[in-house]
Amino acid sequence: MKTLIITAHPSKFGFTHKIAAEYSKAAIEKGREVEILDLYSPENKQDFLIFENIKVMPFDATVERMQAKISESHELVFIFPLWWYGEPAVMKNFWDKNFAARFAYHYVNGRPVGLLNGKTARVFFTSDGAWYYQWLLLQPVRNIWWLTRLGFCGIKMKSFVVFSSMRTRDEKKRNEFLAKVYKIAKG
């Protein structure tokens, strides 16, 4: 089984990368093949999506490479900081460019049909906001990932995990967060 971990944090010191490393460690221990795809790494850079005709979407070698990675993976893990109650633009662009029609979904009689059935996904993100903001405002973010992205493409979301108030968390609490990531990856 192959796991593709997709990260989006501009700093190599961001907690996002610690989550990815911990998830990777546990998944490898469980016998899975793991690849970490850092969207801020120069070799993974993709220009923003631009097109003139929606029926003729641009397709280049990077899109082909990313779609191959997605196709080969059984599990997709998305890890990013929450900024303005959404993912960093580089993550949204990754979705726009690579989870395109005729690859991730198509329409039958005007209804979307996911083409990535059998795949699972987990979403982890960090936030500086207090837990009560998360409690009030995160349901829409969860629904976007669960229903209108993953579900639209036929991918089953297995978990959606928020690590809030990161700015004020001490090392002990951060290690507890990483222990939770490890347990989820082993599960």
Percent of the chain with pLDDT over 70: 96
Domain that holds residue 119: 2-186
The answer to whether the Cα torsion of 110, 116, 117, 119 is positive or negative is negative
- The CA distance from 11 to 74, in Å, is 28
The pLDDT confidence band at residue 59, using thresholds 50, 70 and 90, is confident
Put simply, whether the predicted model's pTM sits higher than 0.85 gets the answer yes
**pLDDT tens-digit profile of 15-51?**
999 999 999 999 999 999 999 999 999 999 998 887 7
- The Cα-based distances of 135 to 2, 130, 138, 176 in angstroms read 33, 9, 6, 20
Q: What is the CATH number of the domain that holds 15?
A: 3.40.50.360
**pLDDT tens-digit profile of 66-77?**
999 999 999 999
- The Cα-based distances of 24 to 7, 19, 73, 132, 160 in angstroms read 12, 8, 14, 30, 17
Q: How many domains does the chain divide into?
A: 1
Alpha carbon distance, N-terminus to C-terminus of the chain = 14
- The CA distance from 177 to 124, in Å, is 11
Nearest to 46 by CA among 83, 92, 13, 14: 92
The single-letter code of the amino acid at 30 is: K
